[in-house]
Structure 1
Amino acid sequence: MFTPSPEELAHAIVAAGTRSKGGITSVTGQMVGLPFFAAAQRLIDTAAPTPRARPALP
């Protein structure tokens, strides 16, 4: 079963907040609002960058 990482979930929350223009919306069946958008953005801002692609094998 696929479980999103905290960073992936944070990106989904921020995107939902942008689409709802800061209003109440739902993400994965849970209601979220401004405090969640702010917390998710803080998580994204402090998370270590992850590589998007694996390096090619020699």
Structure 2
Amino acid sequence: MRMMSVINDSAGFAFTFFGFLLMNIYINDLEKKMGFSKKEKGAFTAVFITVFAGLSLWLYVV
């Protein structure tokens, strides 16, 4: 992601976003199979979004 933000590679951004969506779908599928409650899913989603947003902002600013 850092390299793509430095060279402004729009195709790289698209691939990164698509990969993020696929990973999110896969994690949701695993959570269903493992039988997590809604509270546990919500907590994991909040942590995941916070880490991803923080990393994205840090890479954008630096």
- What TM-score range do you get, normalising by the shorter chain? 0.3 to 0.5
Query: Quick one: higher RCO (CA 8 Å, sep 6+), 1 or 2?
Result: 2
TM-score (normalizing by structure 2): 0.33
- The structure with the largest helix share of the pair is 2
TM-score (normalizing by structure 1): 0.34
- The structure with the largest strand share of the pair is 1
